Structure 1
Amino acid sequence: MSIDPMRASDVERERIVAELRQAATEGRLDVDELDERTASAYTSKTRGELLQLIEDIPTARVAPPSPSPQRRLPTTPGRTGFTARWLAPARRRQAATELAEFVAPPMRAHGYALEHASDAHMVFARKHRPVWTYVLAVALFPLGLLALLHTEREEIVCDLHEHEDGTLISVSGKAPLAIRRALSELER
């Protein structure tokens, strides 16, 4: 093994000392060896000198992190129920403002109106008349016209909860495929 003549940095010295301490906790070094090698690490001038202190200690091979499972985007057409959760890297008030700014316009385009908004809770709602009411109105005319009085309401509820790393946003409700896909994209 050729000795690396490059000058060692304090960060490199600390990393070697940490490896020596780990080796001692695993029983690979006794207390005297740990003290001796730690002192040598702090007085080492080159990287080569540092590497010699740990060359007889097997390094822990950390397995690479397993790739996070890719969440499948919704593919079912029509208006169906869904849930989505993601962590926004902002405080709750800012996350609520951004949610209203970026999510509300596409919701309006699909017929949803913002009914309630606060820093912790948002409700988008849509009222619509199902197709079956028109079929009944035509098939059973004139009495079938009463079916046109029926409307259905769909809601999308957004809850925002403070989290140490930002704001946890949970969205659930019934929505068309385009909205479900867009909100599911935010989970990644």
Structure 2
Amino acid sequence: MKRTETTEDGEIPGLEDEEDDENVSAEDVKLLRRVFEIAAEEGGSTAAKIDQIQSDIADLRAYTTSLEEFLDDNGTAEQLIEEFKEQVEQFEQQLDDVEAAFDEQSEQIESVDESVDSMSEEVDAVSEEVDSMSEEVATVNEDIDTLDEEVSSVRREVNGLGNEVEDFEDTMEEIEDDIEDSIEDLQTWQEQIKETFGG
């Protein structure tokens, strides 16, 4: 730590320079001069305290300078708070937008879920119809098989009836032949009668 030296007349080297730089007021300079005069009279312990005070003042001056530069670059605390509020409002607006988009997507998802449920119900209904149609097709196939059997039976009956018709036709031909023979015999008998009785 740099020790503060005083001159014989109680002056502190560099203090006038600080006053000229307007970093310290005239009253502060007077007060400091008085303190340093007392320090010069009382000895080293007070001088050490003065050195500490000077160091603290230097640190405070450096902090003040840094704070002034910060405020020059970023504005006052009120301005910073206002900017922070604006940023918070923008963030809240963005959050509202995100929540609105999320709600909209949730509604769309619910709509899709409802559509999927509806399609599932339709698929179930179609499956039931397909099952019913499959049963009907199976029934129709059974009916077709039965009809095939009936057709085969009818064909057999028709074939049998054809044989009967042929037999009937043969019988009719025989009857016709017999009738023709009878007619011829009758005609011959009539002619014989005519010849006998002179008719």
- Asked if TM exceeds 0.5, the reply is no
Q: Into which bin does the TM-score normalised by the smaller protein fall?
A: under 0.3
Task: State the TM-score, normalizing by the size of structure 1.
Answer: 0.21
Pair member with larger Rg: 2
Task: State the TM-score, normalizing by the size of structure 2.
Answer: 0.21
Structure (1/2) with the larger strand percentage: 1
Question: Which structure carries more relative contact order (alpha carbon 8 Å, separation 6+)?
Answer: 1
